[in-house]
Structure 1
Amino acid sequence: MKVLELLDEIEEIVDTSSGFPLTGKILVDAEEILEIVKEIRVELPDEIQQAQWIKDERQRILEEAKREYETILKDAKVQAEALIENDDITVKAKMRADEIMRVAEANVKAMKLGAFDYIDSILYNFQDKMDQLNSVYFHDMFSNLQTTFEKVNGTIADNRNEIKEMIYRAQMESND
């Protein structure tokens, strides 16, 4: 996958960068690293971009529900005012207005809950995908780092053994 290749490229830059003696720090080209990070962002799965879409969609659904609620409320008021002329009609209008309000509020509540359930399921799926990505990418990255450190330690141990062998030979030659 392209992201792993880009991570390998960062690792190669870090491995081949010149270091500052005795500090454990290295000098890297910031522009080069930032360019690779931008490429990684471009390559990341669509689920990350879907999070923004989910946020926007949630806001749109809530605004639409609010507009519908306000429209229903205005219609109820208009109908109620038109029926005020007669007491019997006024009582029925108030009952109808209350019923419309209850229905509107129930519809708004149902739409909100539906939107929240929908967003929650999308976020749950997104969270699952992020967990999967974490287990795949970070496991590989740390495995590669561990292998690199093991190789470096092996090389250092070999070099130390060579030096000890040279010291031993030098001591043997000076004893002769």
Structure 2
Amino acid sequence: MAINELLDELENLVVDARRLVFTNKCIIEEDDLMRLIDGLRKELPQTIKSAEDVINTKQTILDDARSEAARLVEQAKEYGTKMTAESEIVGQARMQAKEIMDKTLDHSNDLKNDSINYANQVFDHLIGSLDDILQVVHQAKGGLNEGTPAAAPSSATAAKQDKK
């Protein structure tokens, strides 16, 4: 189950929970809450793995672009040395080699920028999802702690735990 689906289900669990009269507290089935938390624990590593895959793909693209650039530079050098017989041909070879280098560098930069942008988008999405999950978990914990007065920590202990 996807993280967003688990979060939606967790939200529905809170929204649909029975309310205590004259309070903003609700009663949530522990089994349901634990099932959703377990689901989140299972999904998070997969999401992180996807982000790592994006980073690895970015590095592979950059390495391929560098290899292609080196190959094209080498081709341009070989081509240039073959054309040194006449000055006009030499001039054309230098111009073509420069164009190939410029195109290769532009292509390499474009690939690099595209992969960085994609990785940033994935990380931004992941950060947003993790922030949402963390907020929901804090809310669920707060709701759980508020719903059990006998086990509620003192205000000093609660302040220490909130800082953690």
Residue 122 (structure 1) shift: 1.1
Change (3 A) 1:4 1:122: same
Residues 128-164 of structure 1, C-alpha deviation per residue, up to 9 Å, x if partnerless? Answer: 111111122221123212323x2336xxxxxxxxxxx
Change (3 A) 1:133 1:65: same
Q: Does 1:105 align with 2:108?
A: no
Letter in 2 for 1:128: G
Tell me if structure 1 keeps the 8 A contact 2:51–2:119. no
Residue 105 (structure 1) shift: 0.8
Partner of 1:19: none
Partner of 1:151: 150
Residue 117 (structure 1) shift: 1.2
Change (3 A) 1:97 1:113: same
Q: Does 1:135 align with 2:164?
A: no
Residues 27-65 of structure 1, C-alpha deviation per residue, up to 9 Å, x if partnerless? Answer: xxxxxxxxx8xx974343632221211221121111111
Partner of 1:49: 49
- 2: CA distance, partners of 1:82 / 1:114: 36
- 2: CA distance, partners of 1:3 / 1:115: 40
Change (3 A) 1:88 1:70: same
- 2: CA distance, partners of 1:103 / 1:55: 25
Partner of 2:159: none
Partner of 1:22: none
Counting aligned pairs with the same residue, the percent is: 22
Residue 87 (structure 1) shift: 1.3
**SS in structure 2 of the partner of residue 44 of structure 1:** helix
Partner of 2:34: 5
Change (3 A) 1:7 1:91: closer
Gaps of 5+ in 1: 9-35, 154-176
**SS in structure 2 of the partner of residue 152 of structure 1:** coil
Q: How many residues align?
A: 123
Change (3 A) 1:114 1:3: farther
Q: Trace 1:81-96 onto structure 2 (pairs within 5 A).
A: 81-96=81-96
| Higher helix residue share | 1
**SS in structure 2 of the partner of residue 119 of structure 1:** helix
Gaps of 5+ in 2: 1-5, 7-30, 153-164
**SS in structure 2 of the partner of residue 109 of structure 1:** helix
RMSD in angstroms over aligned alpha carbons?
2.7
Change (3 A) 1:52 1:134: same
- 2: CA distance, partners of 1:129 / 1:152: 31
Tell me if structure 1 keeps the 8 A contact 2:51–2:123. yes
